[in-house]
Amino acid sequence: MVDATLEQKTGAETIVWDLSIFYSGPDDPAIETDIAALNQMVDAFVEQYRGRIADLDAQGMLAAVDAMETLMDKAYRLGMYANLLYTTDTNNAQYGALIQR
């Protein structure tokens, strides 16, 4: 059978993302540091707020939202880097493994 798939150019072939605004590379020790910090932040958030949200006053709710925002900023940074890096080479097992972390 003949493979009729043609490579279609999109004009984006020469575009390269500068992911160094996140980390210097997939082996950057800051990734491990941020993952560990994020895990600690999640544990602390759960410990402080699980089962207590309904009882918070306005100041307490603001503190909870601020803590969640800080936690999510770190999670988004890690996730964005891992996903963008992976899309640059979906055959790279190291990049795929980083997403799984």
Tens of pLDDT along 85-99? Answer: 999 899 999 999 999
Rounded Cα–Cα distance for residues 58 and 48 (Å):
16
In whole angstroms, give the CA distance from residue 1 to residue 4. 9
- State how many domains the chain has: 1
What pTM was computed for the model?
0.79
* Stretch 45-68: mean pLDDT: 97
| Residue 63 within a domain | yes
pLDDT exceeds 90 at position 35: yes
Is 14 among the domain residues? no
The tokens of 48 are what? 């402080």
Assigned domain for 2 exists: no
Pair 81, 19: CB distance under 8 Å: yes
Distance between CA atoms of 19 and 86, rounded to whole angstroms? 11
Half-sphere exposure of 35 (CA within 13 A, CB side): 15
The tokens describing 18, both together, are 């500068």
Instruction: Examine the pLDDT at 1 and tell me if it is beyond 70.
Output: no
Residue 15 domain flag = no
Range of the domain at 63: 25-96
